[in-house]
Every structure is written in structure tokens, then in C-alpha cells.
Amino acid sequence: LLSPGAAFSYHSPGPAELRSTAGGGGSGSLGLRCVLAAASRSFCGGRTRTGLRRSARTPRRPAPVVTARPGCSSARPTLPSAAIFAPSRAARPGAPPLRHGPAPLFFFPPSRDRSAMAARRALHFVFKVGDRGRSARFYRELLGMRVLRHEEFEEGCKASCNGPYDGRWSKTMVGYGPEDNHFVAELTYNYGIGEYCLGNDFLGITLVSSQAVSNAKKMGWPLKEVTSGIFEAEAPGGYKFYLEDKEQLKQDPVLKVTLGVSNLQKSINYWSDLLGMKIYEKDEEKQRALLGYADNQCKLELKAVGGAVDHGTAFGRIAFSCAKEELPNIEALMKKENQKILTPLVSLDTPGKATVQVIILADPDGHEICFVGDEAFRDLSKVDPNGDKLLDDAMAADSSDEWFAAHKKKKAAA
């Protein structure tokens, strides 16, 4: 990140630091500490207004290693793996034969775990937004989504939901219906950061909505017809959405999330063999595959990008739910298979709502994956009828744009 110095002084008297996403708080050892002058002490404190309360027992995150990225104005911390390197295991009786070659050696989950796999649900994708007002207009007015809930937080999430930042942030869930049966978007807004550097990791979300196409035309929003009946619209921040010009489905109109991968077969092995997804389609010629947990859920499309996957600083996260008792099993499996665990199993408290348990993983290309206990998450994710008002009030109270303009400064570019 570029350090904006006193540019953050409009909202907090305390220090804000870049932090690794591996656990705990920031160390500031990168020299990226932003000096925050006093302006409003109401934005500070050890707890959130409606969000997480950080435990004093939470370990501090180790200082991240910064790796330069060509084309970006800054670097993203290289995340240390929390995976435990287990000794290689002997073949189990009745296990499928080992596969040789560049792909990792994965076993399919035992048949007794298949029912647990079927109970998993695709929940949401996390986007970092620098312009909250324009983003809200795109998702509400163009796509036709509604605000499901909005929450303001005073400090960074223990599971790094807002990225590697310790400062004030907000989370807005938007979608066509509740997460019980819809795939939605989580918009995370870090106060004081105006833009993020895109990579080639997130390739788009595809949904069915002729109304969204019509809305875009009425609003004068740029549209590009990429193939017959499918239009590309770009959300603020550069995130691509592909709109099928058909009547919106009665069920969830969000069809798939597309992520870039460097090695298609290796990624299929990870998502199918380890995470238990069903392979719906595989196209060797086009180097793509479609996977998912159920026919009626949003699917995950993996598409080879012809090289390394660059996450930039706008890197997102895809979230799934599973039975709470499955979370320790997932953690144990990842340790056994020598896979990355970005945040070990942790409990997240939201005052007045359910406490949820989550574990954050990374696939072979570094895509962040969240698994959360389903039972508590259904309670936590209930639609708030005041969501729109809470978002509008928060945007009205956010005087950051005026502050930066008055001081002839620009918000930080991550």
C-alpha cells in the first residue's frame, strides 16, 4: 500500500497498519504505518459498532513479506502458510491408485463424507470497493440487487474479511435474495482507500437478467456484447459481470463465478478431490472446468490464464458453508495434505448475533476460500430490513471525499 500519511486523519486518532492475513494484528514493520491525527474518537475503540470484538488473546500477525508486482502501485504481502507439513502417507487399503505427474497426489474423500459434501453451500464472493457510492448504485440500480445487511466495524477482522488492513471498514451484503438460497456479493469498504490494483484472478460473475441489461442501457452504463445475448458490464473497481439477456430466473439468477488458474488439472484436483466439488463440465480445448456442490447452486468456473495468477491488491474471497462439525475435519485434511491455511479455525463474534466459526484456506493459485459453520451463519446472515437505510446513513456520514478534496489530496491506492 501507499502510505497516505496524514490523509486518514479525518476519521481516527489511532495508528492504522497494513497487516498480514495469517492471524492477529499488524506489526507496522513494513514502514507503511499511516499517521492518523485526531478528528473523531467515536470511530475508535476495541470493539465494533455492529461487528467483531477482538479478543486480547488473539495472536498478533507476523510481519508480512512484501513482493513487488509489476503494473501495480504497491505490493501485496506474501501470506505465510499455516499448513503443517505432515509426512507422506502410505496408501490406504482400497484407495485409488496414486497419480503421477505434475498434479498433486490427492485422494477422493471417503464415501461416508459424501453426504457432508452435498450439504455444503456456495454463499458469496468478497469484493473490495474504493468508491462505495458508485458501487452501491451499480449493484442496486443496475443489477437490481437489494441490500441484505450492512455493518460498520472499527478495526480489522480476525479472519481478514476486509483484507490486510487494521483500520475502520464496512461490510455490505447485496443480492437477489437471502444467502439461504442465493449467491450474493460482499462489498468491503476500507475507509481512506480509494482504489485497488486488479490482477487476473477474478474473471467475472455470470447472471441471468434482461432487466439488468435494460437498466444498464437506461443508465448509460457501458455495455459490451461479448457473444450473442450476453453483455459485459464493469462494476466500479473493474470487476466484470456477464449479463445474459433473458428473463430473470425465479430461483437464484447468479449462475457462476469464474476464477483464473495457472494449471487447470491441478486446480480441479484441489477443488474436487479435497473440497469435494462435483465436476459438471470440463473442456480441455478451452482450458476450463465447471464445478459445484449442487445443481441448484451457483457454480465455480476455473479457467486457465496461460501463466501465473496475479491477485493484485483487489484480491477477493469465495465463501461456502458446511456443518459446524466439518470445520475441524477440513482443517485436519488441509494439514495432512500439506495445503495452505491462511487463518486456522477461529470464532468470530458479532454482538447481538450468532458467533460463527470459520477457516480460511488458499488453493494452489492462492485464491482465498472461506468455510463457515452453516447453522450459526444462517442466523448471522438473516436479512435486515433496515439494510438500505444503514448503508445510506453510513455513506451520508462518510465525509472522506470532501475531506480529501478540501485538503487537495487523493485517497490511498492499495
Domain ranges of the chain: 121-407
AA letter at 330:
I
The phi-psi region of residue 94 (left if phi > 0; otherwise alpha if psi is between -120 and 50; otherwise beta) is left
- In sign, the C-alpha dihedral spanning 54, 130, 183, 175 is positive
Q: What pLDDT is attached to residue 248?
A: 83
Name the residue among 243, 138, 259 with its Cα closest to residue 187: 138
Cα separations (Å) of 367 from 261, 263, 328, 362, 370? 9, 13, 20, 5, 10
Rounded percentage of the chain residues whose pLDDT exceeds 70: 71
pLDDT band at 32 (very low <50, low <70, confident <90, very high): very low
Q: Report whether 103 contacts 266 (CB < 8 A).
A: yes
More confident call, 54 vs 397: 397
- For residue 59, is pLDDT > 50? no
Q: For residue range 80-121, what is the model confidence (pLDDT) as tens digits?
A: 333 333 333 343 444 444 344 444 434 444 433 556 666 899
Residues with Cβ within 8 Å of 408's Cβ and at least 6 positions away in sequence, in order, are: none
- For residue 15, is pLDDT > 80? no
Cα–Cα dist 221/225, whole Å: 13
Cα separations (Å) of 294 from 115, 276, 297, 300, 374? 12, 11, 5, 11, 16
More confident call, 37 vs 303: 303
- For residue 251, is pLDDT > 50? yes
Cα–Cα dist 7/224, whole Å: 37
Q: What pLDDT is attached to residue 14?
A: 35
Cα–Cα dist 280/260, whole Å: 17
Q: What pLDDT is attached to residue 31?
A: 37
More confident call, 156 vs 392: 392
Q: For residue range 299-330, what is the model confidence (pLDDT) as tens digits?
A: 999 999 999 999 999 999 999 999 999 999 99
Q: What pLDDT is attached to residue 352?
A: 73
Q: SS3 for the chain, per residue?
A: CCCCHHHHCCCCCCCECECCCCCCCCCCCCCCCECCCCCCHHHCCCECCCCCECCCCCCCCCCCEEEECCCCCCEEEECCCCCCCCCCCCCCCCCCCCCCCCCCCCCCCCHHHHHHHHCCEEEEEEEECCCHHHHHHHHHHHCCCEEEEEEEECCCCCCCCCCCECCCEEEEEEECCCCCCCCEEEEEEECCEEECCCCCCEEEEEEECHHHHHHHHHHCCCCEEEECCEEEEECCCCCEEEEECCCCCCCCCEEEEEEEECCHHHHHHHHHHHCCCEEEEEECCCCEEEEECCCCCCEEEEEECCCCCCCCCCCCEEEEEECCCHHHHHHHHHHHCCCEEEEEEEEECCCCCCCEEEEEEECCCCCEEEEEEHHHHHHHCCCCCCHHHHHHHHHHHCCHHHHHHHCCCCCEEC
Averaged pLDDT for residues 349-369: 90
Q: What pLDDT is attached to residue 90?
A: 40
Count Cα atoms within 13 angstroms, Cβ side, for 242: 14
Q: What pLDDT is attached to residue 401?
A: 77
Cα–Cα dist 152/48, whole Å: 7
Q: SS3 for 4-38, per residue?
A: CHHHHCCCCCCCECECCCCCCCCCCCCCCCECCCC
Q: How many residues does the chain have?
A: 414
AA letter at 147:
V
- For residue 369, is pLDDT > 60? yes
> Vertex 225, ends 222 and 230: CA angle to 5°?
115
Q: What pLDDT is attached to residue 409?
A: 72
Asked: is 121-407 a CATH 3.40.50.2000 domain? The reply is: no
Q: Report whether 171 contacts 192 (CB < 8 A).
A: no
